[in-house]
Amino acid sequence: MTTRRLPNARPEPPAAIRPAAAPAPLDAGTRAERAAANEGLPTVEFAEATPYEQYVGVRQLQALVRPVTDHPAEPAFLVVTQVMELWFTLLRREWELAQQQLRADDLDGAVASVRRSVHHLRSLDASWGSLLWLTPAEFNGFRDSLGEASGFQSYEYRHVEFLLGLKAESVVRPHRGLPVVHADLQRALAGPSLEDDVLAYLARRGLPVPAAVLDRDRSVTHEADPTVTEIWAAVYRDPRPGNELFGLGEALTDVAEVYTTWRQRHVLAVRRSMGAKPGSGGSAGLAWLERSAARVVFPDLWAARTVL
């Protein structure tokens, strides 16, 4: 099948789809009054865009679906990628909030944020289901037109990795051309991960987290430490419902497990759609992705299971 490449130049979106004002807030009393006036039916008359459009920005979202070919498989590939970017943004928000809560010694709030993120991760993982049908022939139908565009270049995904403690300076370099993004990634690279904030919280609780772990270079991935592993093993030896640190450990383990599942499904999706061909972004493709997917999130929590 010959696929037509569409022009790269894209016009500016018309004013009608630019960000609109947020919908006017309503209180419970006003909602009840409107429901009574409408005799229980929805409001159907609006002078401007509907409040739903104002809040969600549907036309803005639609305007972002800009395939570069006319191949029928490309829109699904593009939309799934964009949806994943939104999940990355949501995960980043949840984990940064959990960090703030841990620093304020609000363990209940932090665990709630982490547990919410597990549901987001499961939805992220489920996104692969919308690409299971993509065959090599279908992917090849538009792949060349993607140029050097690669998921490796997702800076929001890098924030997710950094928050999970998977640090590497090299993955920041592609974003030098976007100074604000680059500076934000450098900050995240040098700053504490969610795991670092968990360990600092454990130390404030009087647990013997080594100073070398607390004061380490945070731009480097944390490897399992025997003392920290034993701290978690001790927590897991007491799985009573009232052991709040056990709940924290299990919530973090859920994050690590579902995130790892998502990465493994990424490997399978690549293997299924393109095999072991070189990647678009200059990597070895599947081989590089497999090495990346093998990195362990929260290594002490996993090592503790061997100790028990």
* Binding-site annotation, residues for heme: 266
Give the up-direction half-sphere exposure of residue 225: CA atoms within 13 A in the CB hemisphere. Answer: 16
Instruction: Label residues 13-52 b or e (16+ Cβ within 10 Å = b).
Output: eeeebeebeeeeeeeeeeeeeeeeeeeeeeeeeeeebeee
Please enumerate in sequence order all residues whose Cβ is within 8 A of that of 292, keeping only pairs 6 or more positions apart, or say none.
263
H-assigned helices in the chain: 28-37, 51-56, 58-63, 74-103, 107-126, 136-143, 155-163, 179-190, 194-204, 211-214, 226-236, 244-274, 286-293, 299-307
Measuring CA to CA, how many Å separate 132 from each of 18, 250, 257, 266? 34, 30, 21, 11
| Backbone dihedral angles phi then psi of residue 69, each to the nearest 5 degrees | -135, 175
Residue ranges of the binding site for substrate: 143
Q: How far apart are CA 233 and CA 256, in angstroms?
A: 17
With beta carbons less than 8 A apart as the criterion, state whether 225 and 88 touch.
no
199: closest CA among 182, 219, 216? Answer: 216
Tokens (6 digits) for 3:
């696929």
For residues 182, 215, 225, 209, the Cα torsion angle rounded to the nearest 10 degrees is -130
Which tokens hold the place of 216? 């380490």
Torsion of CA 282, 285, 289, 290, to 10 degrees: -140
Extract the annotated binding site.
143, 266
